[in-house]
Amino acid sequence: MNLLYLSNLELRQICYFLAVVEAGNNFSRAADVLQIEQPPLSQRIRSLEKMLKVELFDRRRRPLQLTAAGKVFEQETRLALTSLDRAIAQAQRTSRGEIGFLSIGIASSIANTLLPDLLRTFRDRAPQVELELRELTAEQQIQELRHHRLNIGFEVFPNRFAQDDHLAAHPIVAESIVIALPEMHPLVAHPHIPLIALANEALILPSIEAFPFYQEFVACCEQAGFQPHIVQNAKATWMLTILSLVVAGVGLAILPSNVQQLQRQGVVYRTIQHNTLTRQITALWRRDDPSPALRKFLAVIQEVANR
């Protein structure tokens, strides 16, 4: 592509040429459509022919006809202008965040709460943005964000990352914790179970290394006067696995309240009496991420969270 040569062409000249063709090769009619005088229009077409070094119209014939070169030029310029028009539209849509790619880190906390509404709303607004969903722990999401392999993550992140100047955080929903019990367990009779009632129970917690939030639950037990008996050989991460352990009688599980979206046969959920411990699900992204699609997604997050 000879950009230097093409830079001497005026887009207006090509548009004028096509306007004449669309007017049935009639310069007077085209001038009326373009709202200019006919002499300047004729001069523009002559200037274009001189630049191209071809005759586009056979002026010896009446009515005026396109030359063979003019017919080819018309066909090719229509294709070129169609591509240019599409390029402009696509660039504008990309700038508005309607086209692009987003890599999103998720865990069960967001998957069982706001994620379906987030995705539904965003896809309605930007159906051409490709979304990649990746199931990652909080620590993994942070590492992937720092290495520019993730645009945004959702989890209960340790407080220390809120102070990271390179990352921006926005709390979107808080949730309490519940107890998952086998349906025949004696404590099922209580709609709200005192924390001290768990003192002699085997407890299943998600991996504290993967989910540091559960250190706060252990601290609450200690404040209540007992050291929780955590089943050390049950280091499951995913909720369905933990619920299977509950059904098997391995212990009672302490899980975020969103687990109640999962109806597992043989499991009953109960709240903890007078418990104010909550988990804050947060959206986390890089401050310097230039993605317009991310900005649009952040606006959807704010809208859905406000509902």
Q: Are residues 134 and 277 in the same domain?
A: yes
Instruction: Give the tokens for residue 60.
Output: 């010896």
Q: Are residues 236 and 153 in the same domain?
A: yes
pLDDT at 153: 95
pLDDT at 91: 86
pLDDT at 162: 55
Q: Write the Ramachandran bin of 93: left for phi over 0, alpha for psi from -120 to 50, otherwise beta.
A: alpha
Is residue 247 within 8 Å of 182, Cβ to Cβ? yes
Is residue 275 within 8 Å of 179, Cβ to Cβ? no
Q: Are residues 142 and 280 in the same domain?
A: yes
Q: Are residues 159 and 290 in the same domain?
A: yes
Single out the residue of 217, 249, 219, 216 nearest to residue 234, CA to CA: 249
Q: Are residues 9 and 23 in the same domain?
A: yes
Q: Are residues 70 and 155 in the same domain?
A: no
Instruction: Report the number of distinct structural domains present in the chain.
Output: 2
If DSSP states are collapsed to H, E and C, what string results for the chain?
Answer: CCHHHHCCCCHHHHHHHHHHHHCCCCHHHHHHHHCCCHHHHHHHHHHHHHHHCCCCEECCCCCCEECHHHHHHHHHHHHHHHHHHHHHHHHHHHHCCCEEEEEEEECHHHHCCCHHHHHHHHHHHCCEEEEEEEECCHHHHHHHHHCCCCCEEEECCCHHHHHCCCEEEEEEEEEEEEEEEECCCHHHHCCEECHHHHCCCEEECCCCCCCCCHHHHHHHHHHCCCCCEECCCCCCCCHHHHHHHHHCCCCEEEEEHHHHHCCCCCEEEEEECCCCCEEEEEEEEECCCCCHHHHHHHHHHHHHHHC
Q: Are residues 85 and 107 in the same domain?
A: no
* Alpha-carbon span 269 to 281, nearest angstrom: 21
pLDDT at 119: 95
Beta-carbon contacts of 137 under 8 Å, excluding residues fewer than 6 positions away, are: 107, 155, 210, 211, 237
* Alpha-carbon span 93 to 91, nearest angstrom: 5
Which one of 51, 71, 95 terminates a domain?
95
CATH code of the domain in which 69 resides:
1.10.10.10
Q: Are residues 106 and 86 in the same domain?
A: no
Is residue 14 within 8 Å of 48, Cβ to Cβ? yes
Range of the domain at 190: 101-307
pLDDT at 259: 87
Model confidence, pTM: 0.69
Give average pLDDT by consecutive 10-residue segment, the chain, 307 residues: 78 91 90 90 91 91 89 92 88 82 90 90 92 91 93 83 79 90 94 94 83 86 93 68 90 90 89 87 93 94 86
Q: Are residues 33 and 173 in the same domain?
A: no
pLDDT at 236: 58
Q: Are residues 256 and 232 in the same domain?
A: yes
Which one of 77, 95, 113 terminates a domain?
95
* Alpha-carbon span 59 to 13, nearest angstrom: 18
Q: Are residues 190 and 268 in the same domain?
A: yes
Q: Are residues 24 and 43 in the same domain?
A: yes
* Alpha-carbon span 80 to 11, nearest angstrom: 11
CATH code of the domain in which 255 resides:
3.40.190.290
Which one of 95, 128, 161 terminates a domain?
95
